[in-house]
Amino acid sequence: MTKTERWLNKALGVTLEPLKEKIVANHADQEVEAYQLKPRDFYLPYLSVPPLRGRRGGQGVRPYFLNEVAFASDDLPILRRAAERIAGLTDTPLGDAARSAIRKLSFDLPELNVGAEERAFTAPAEIEAQFATLRQAVESRRAVRCRYYTIRRDTEA
């Protein structure tokens, strides 16, 4: 086992199996050692794709199949909001993918652009009194204590 294989096994927690036959690298026209990852060897918690029934992965056959899903134009705002929520997650690889998807789709689908009415937040009338109290505390250099809910969990912090 090479140093790279040991590092990948440790970093990914997955065993890379070398292929028995060497393959030719297109860019170098030389034989290189190849490795394979089997889907059963790792777990993708965010996306699971059912295997295609009755067919074995073979030459020219994709081992997984996703049905095409069509959305109506009325569904786009809901999908955009869902993607924005996922894009806000910084501790998962899906956050980067969702941000990228929103950016790419916004070029092709102008319906994904957000209108001003969706970005306007309404505040209760008593907010002015709360800000006045906060302003007084800051001006008199008193400590301020706030209660808030975090975005990732529904508990006070």
Structure tokens at 56: 């074995």
- Roughly what angle, to the nearest 10 degrees, separates helices 76-87 and 93-108? 140
Integer Cα distance of 57 and 157 in angstroms: 50
- Residue 13 pLDDT: 60
Integer Cα distance of 75 and 91 in angstroms: 27
Q: How many Cα atoms within 13 Å fall on the side-chain side of residue 108?
A: 5
- Residue 56 pLDDT: 52
Does an H or E element contain 81, and which? helix 76-87
- Residue 71 pLDDT: 74
- Residue 58 pLDDT: 47
Cβ within 8 Å of residue 84, ≥6 positions away: 98, 102
**pTM of the predicted protein model:** 0.32
- Residue 96 pLDDT: 82
SS (H, E, C) 26-60: CCCCEEECCEECCHHHCCCCCCCCCECCCCCCCCC
Run means of pLDDT, 10 residues per run, the chain, 157 residues = 67 65 66 66 47 49 61 78 82 80 74 55 66 87 77 61
- Residue 11 pLDDT: 63
- Residue 156 pLDDT: 58
- Residue 103 pLDDT: 79
